[in-house]
Amino acid sequence: MNMAEVLRETRETGDFAPLLKSIPYAGYIGLKCERFGDDLIFRLPRKDSNLGNPLLPAIHGGVIGGFMEVSAAIYLMMSQDTFRMPRIVDFSLDYLRAGLDRETYAECQLTRQGNRVANVTITAWQKSRREAIATARAHFLLDR
Which of 72-76, 78-82, 88-92, 137-141 is least confident? 78-82
CA distance 63 to 12: 30
Range of the domain at 64: 3-141
Say whether pLDDT at 2 is over 90.
no
- CATH code at position 113: 3.10.129.10
Strands 87-95 and 132-141: antiparallel
29-45 pLDDT, tens digit each: 999 999 988 899 999 99
CA distance 43 to 114: 28
User: How many domains, the chain?
Assistant: 1
Say whether pLDDT at 82 is over 80.
no
Give the pLDDT mean for 41-68. 96
pTM, whole model, 2 decimals?
0.93
CA distance 93 to 139: 12
Q: Report DSSP letters for 50-82, one per residue.
A: GEEETTTTEE-HHHHHHHHHHHHHHHHHHHSS-
Say whether pLDDT at 131 is over 90.
yes
